[in-house]
Structure 1
Amino acid sequence: MLYIIYPYRNRELKRIENSLNSLKNQTNKSFTVYFVDSGTEHTLAKDVENLVNTYDFVTYVYHNTQHQPWNKSRTLNSAIKSLDGGFCFVADVDMIFRNDFVEIANQLQKPNKATYFKVGFLDQVETQRDKEFEHCNIKFESTSEATGLTMFPVENLKKIHGFDEFYHFWGSEDTDVHVRLKHSGCDVQFYDKDILMLHQWHESYRIKEQDKLTKELQLSHIVRLNYRHLNHANDSKRTIVNKSTWGNIMTKSQFQELETCDTEMTSILNTLDRIQHFLYVELHNLEPGIYRFRFYSNSSEKSLKQKIKKHLGKENEVFLTMKEVNDMVLLHIISFYRNKPYTYKVNDKLQELYLTITL
């Protein structure tokens, strides 16, 4: 049996349908799909659930993580932990599978060996055309450096505690798990004999990155940090990660408790000293409980304070942009508090940030 895991958030329905239809037509039916929806917006999530439930080989799971940054590693780990053995394949809604993919994948299964696959990439025009797999015009092919689409022996993944949950947003988590599996003695091979999958075109995620605050959660330079973490994994020869816990998702009841919490909110002005003191002193020393924090910018307060201090000859406070506050707070949370139930939001006017967390 092959377990196929889709980590998913906020992608269009047609893309999902194309991918699952290609699995529906497999020559070998010895597989099951776990479609793990990590916090898709509720209106779309209902449509997604209705769609995937039309396929009898798919199990749909929803995570209440819509107010947390994307964490593909934890999404995958939540499914991997539930498997009893065998092999799992990390899929993607961009993939269209050749009708003999499962048959060939099952033939490639060997103890202590992971296999990842060459992919053919379609351009935007070709993606929109309704063609049979063998008639699609491939723009370019992936190389062995593209590690995202891999079939793993489940027990080998469990031994190293799955994917490293430090990685958030995009980049390096797939290569990291390859590196650690190799360090643990597992063989990792690249299948390039034939193209068994096609990649549906989409706009690069890098293009969406902005140097200003947005409603959609973003963190400046996170790809570079993820890559540095990957280098550390390689250099240190480490194997096991997520040592305290792995694959644990905030429950629906925990999410609702955060959303309905009426604890008094603590407001923190966007000065460097206040943000640093909150992150490195106050937060660490709080007693267990649910807390709400508001980070805000007050231009009139800033202007008045600066004028008074300048008149008195005192050092001016250092005010941060709300983007800078966002990056400091969000990086701190995902680095040290990612295993705690929390929600993190940017208000519509992009002037305030809200953190609610259970400590």
Structure 2
Amino acid sequence: MITLVFTYRNRSIHIVKRCLQSLKEQSNLNFQVVLVNYGSTTIYTQQIEKLLENFHFVTAINCEVSKQLWNKSKAINIALKKCETSHFFVGDIDMIFRNDFIEKLNWLKSDNEAIYFQVGFLSESESKLDKSFDNYKIKHKTNEEATGMTLYPTKLLKKISGYDEFYHGWGAEDTDVHCRLRNAGIKVNFFDKTILLLHQWHPRSYRSMESIAPFHSSLEQINHQYIQKIVQNKMVLANTIFDWGLIPNSMDFTSNVIQSFQMTNQESEVNAMLYGLWDNYKGHYLIIDIKPHSEYKSVKNSIKKIIKKKHFVFYDFQSLNDLILIHLITRFRNQYYEYEWDKVINTIQLKIVL
């Protein structure tokens, strides 16, 4: 049997319905689906739960991490850790599958190789139409650089410790796991003989800086540089420092003993927290509120800086946001946290269980 895993956060229910309906209509029904709802808001979670009542072959895993960075690798690994089938297909919830897709997977699957699939992209107008699979007009097709839709032998994916959970935000995690498999001497083949999957158009607002979800301004560039080192050093194992595939359990910050800190964006004050304070509070519930310093952007402090007199040094809030988030990624990604940056009044709040 094959397990198909999909990750989900705040995506159009209509898109999800079309994806699952195409699986419901498969000629071979010997498969199971795991949908990992990783941090959707309450309204989307309620909608997806209602929808899944019509698709009994889907098992949902709900992770209450709406105030955490998107981490597709962790979401996939949560399903992988529980997977007991021989093969594990990683897909996207915005796909439409040809009705013989599962048959093709069973025909192509191997115990010693991974295989990934070419995808046909639909235009916005075409995505709104209800057609049979073969009647859709494809706008463009992916090439071998698009690595997302992959069928793995489960044991081989587990052997390299799954997807690397360093990758937050979007990009590179799929290519990374292909590189690690190849570094381990495992073949990863590209199937482009026929189109078996179609991508539904959707807006990319979830990647916007205006999103209410935490957002690091340069994670895609960091991810790109990280994967270059994986390739150069021929690395195989992922997640060598942290355990992988852990379900983030939500915590109650109102009924536990809490350490609360009020801070400003003064550079030395922030650095004291990032490089010293946290290490003294392991096992504690922390709430950290950061507001602009009274001298932040003051004329007086700006003049002192220009004439090279002693002055306050501050992080601007974009840099401060990125700095805190990269610390969470590199040091505390298995800890439960909630993070918010109100860009209107420039305040940051971090709640974390250390």
TM-score normalised by the chain length of structure 1: 0.92
The reply on whether 1:193 has 2:193 as its aligned counterpart is: yes
Q: Tell me the equivalent position of 1:227.
A: 224
Q: Give the Å deviation of 1:283.
A: 1.8
Partner Cα separation in structure 1 for residue 106 and residue 302 of structure 2: 71
- Check whether the contact 2:90–2:150 (CA below 8 A) recurs between aligned residues: yes
> Judging changes above 3 Å, is the alpha-carbon distance between structure 1 residues 48 and 110 closer, same or farther for their aligned structure 2 residues?
same
Q: Tell me the equivalent position of 2:100.
A: 100
Q: Give the Å deviation of 1:23.
A: 0.3
The reply on whether 1:306 has 2:301 as its aligned counterpart is: yes
- Check whether the contact 2:259–2:284 (CA below 8 A) recurs between aligned residues: no
1:62-117 residue CA offsets vs partner (Å, 9 max, x unmatched)? 00111100000000000001012410111111100000000001111111111100
> Judging changes above 3 Å, is the alpha-carbon distance between structure 1 residues 177 and 223 closer, same or farther for their aligned structure 2 residues?
same
Q: Structure 2 matches for 1:40-189, cutoff 5 A?
A: 40-189=40-189
- Check whether the contact 1:85–1:155 (CA below 8 A) recurs between aligned residues: no
Q: Tell me the equivalent position of 1:339.
A: 334
1:269-307 residue CA offsets vs partner (Å, 9 max, x unmatched)? 112222222112222333431111111114567638728
Task: Give me the identity figure in percent.
Answer: 36
1:199-239 residue CA offsets vs partner (Å, 9 max, x unmatched)? 0012346x9444xx763321111101001111111111111
Q: Tell me the equivalent position of 1:246.
A: 244
> Judging changes above 3 Å, is the alpha-carbon distance between structure 1 residues 128 and 318 closer, same or farther for their aligned structure 2 residues?
same
Q: Give the Å deviation of 1:332.
A: 1.1
Partner Cα separation in structure 2 for residue 30 and residue 176 of structure 1: 29
> Judging changes above 3 Å, is the alpha-carbon distance between structure 1 residues 314 and 261 closer, same or farther for their aligned structure 2 residues?
farther
- Check whether the contact 1:345–1:353 (CA below 8 A) recurs between aligned residues: yes
- Check whether the contact 1:53–1:60 (CA below 8 A) recurs between aligned residues: no
> Judging changes above 3 Å, is the alpha-carbon distance between structure 1 residues 134 and 259 closer, same or farther for their aligned structure 2 residues?
farther
Partner Cα separation in structure 2 for residue 323 and residue 172 of structure 1: 23
Q: Tell me the equivalent position of 1:35.
A: 35
Partner Cα separation in structure 2 for residue 36 and residue 305 of structure 1: 52
SS in structure 2 at match of 1:3 = strand
Partner Cα separation in structure 2 for residue 232 and residue 273 of structure 1: 32
SS in structure 2 at match of 1:257 = coil
Q: Give the Å deviation of 1:152.
A: 0.6
The reply on whether 1:318 has 2:349 as its aligned counterpart is: no
Q: Give the Å deviation of 1:345.
A: 1.6
Q: Which consecutive residues of structure 1, in runs of 5 or more, have no partner in the other structure? A: none
1:13-61 residue CA offsets vs partner (Å, 9 max, x unmatched)? 0000010010011000011000110010012201111102311111111
Q: Tell me the equivalent position of 2:18.
A: 18
SS in structure 1 at match of 2:263 = strand
Partner Cα separation in structure 1 for residue 85 and residue 211 of structure 2: 41
Partner Cα separation in structure 1 for residue 30 and residue 71 of structure 2: 29
- Check whether the contact 1:215–1:350 (CA below 8 A) recurs between aligned residues: no
In the alignment, residue 247 of structure 1 is paired with which amino acid? Answer: G
Partner Cα separation in structure 2 for residue 276 and residue 13 of structure 1: 43
Q: Tell me the equivalent position of 1:355.
A: 350
The farther-off stretch of 139-148 and 242-251 is 242-251
The reply on whether 1:267 has 2:265 as its aligned counterpart is: no
The farther-off stretch of 180-189 and 165-174 is 180-189
SS in structure 1 at match of 2:46 = helix
The farther-off stretch of 348-357 and 148-157 is 348-357
Partner Cα separation in structure 1 for residue 344 and residue 255 of structure 2: 22
Q: Give the Å deviation of 1:148.
A: 0.4
Q: Give the Å deviation of 1:317.
A: 1.2
In the alignment, residue 328 of structure 1 is paired with which amino acid? Answer: L
Partner Cα separation in structure 2 for residue 299 and residue 44 of structure 1: 40
The farther-off stretch of 75-84 and 343-352 is 343-352
SS in structure 2 at match of 1:81 = helix
TM-score normalised by the chain length of structure 2: 0.94
> Judging changes above 3 Å, is the alpha-carbon distance between structure 1 residues 320 and 84 closer, same or farther for their aligned structure 2 residues?
same
Q: Give the Å deviation of 1:142.
A: 0.4
Partner Cα separation in structure 2 for residue 295 and residue 214 of structure 1: 20
- Check whether the contact 1:23–1:97 (CA below 8 A) recurs between aligned residues: yes
SS in structure 2 at match of 1:28 = coil
> Judging changes above 3 Å, is the alpha-carbon distance between structure 1 residues 48 and 178 closer, same or farther for their aligned structure 2 residues?
same
> Judging changes above 3 Å, is the alpha-carbon distance between structure 1 residues 240 and 313 closer, same or farther for their aligned structure 2 residues?
closer
SS in structure 1 at match of 2:82 = coil
Partner Cα separation in structure 2 for residue 284 and residue 337 of structure 1: 11
- Check whether the contact 2:2–2:85 (CA below 8 A) recurs between aligned residues: no
